[in-house]
């Protein structure tokens, strides 16, 4: 599992509340990613990080922000949760600096926004 943990694993929240999801890795990989998984869409990239304090947007970044103050932690924040953000969120790390290196995924966080 490449030493990736996500917390919480399940969360139910209400529309308009802020939510922060945490991804933690134990192997000091430089690249980390947040994807969301929705039926019929596969996984889509929200944000990624290529180092401490170095982050950039993915294809579905609206309504999300990220932070990476330490190599091992990559936080995803929903500033004001909406029902359209109900999804399963996966964190991933890439084992090297090359695009051919494998991305390994965490166990996921199931988020429900009521």
Contact set with another protein (CB under 8 A): 1, 31, 33, 35, 40-45, 48-50, 56, 58-59, 90, 94, 98-108
The angle at the Cα of 46, spanning 66 to 96, to the nearest 5 degrees, equals 85
CB of 16 to another protein, least distance (A): 29
- Closest Cα to residue 106, out of 13, 14, 21, 18? 21
Select 18 or 107, whichever has its Cβ closest to another protein. 107
How would you classify the pairing of strands 42-51 and 31-38?
Answer: antiparallel
Select 65 or 103, whichever has its Cβ closest to another protein. 103
Select 14 or 27, whichever has its Cβ closest to another protein. 27
Residue entry with tokens 């990476």? 68
């Amino acid at each position: 599992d490449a030493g990736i943990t996500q917390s919480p694993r399940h969360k139910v929240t209400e529309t308009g509340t802020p939510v922060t999801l945490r991804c933690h890795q134990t192997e000091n990989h430089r690249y980390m990613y947040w994807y969301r998984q929705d039926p019929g869409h596969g996984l889509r990239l929200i944000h990624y990080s290529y180092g401490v304090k170095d982050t950039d947007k993915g294809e579905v970044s609206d309504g999300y922000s990220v932070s990476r103050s330490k190599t091992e932690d990559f936080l995803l924040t929903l500033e004001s949760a909406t029902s359209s953000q109900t999804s399963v969120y996966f964190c991933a790390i890439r084992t090297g600096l090359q695009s051919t290196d494998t991305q390994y995924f965490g166990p996921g966080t199931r988020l429900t926004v009521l």
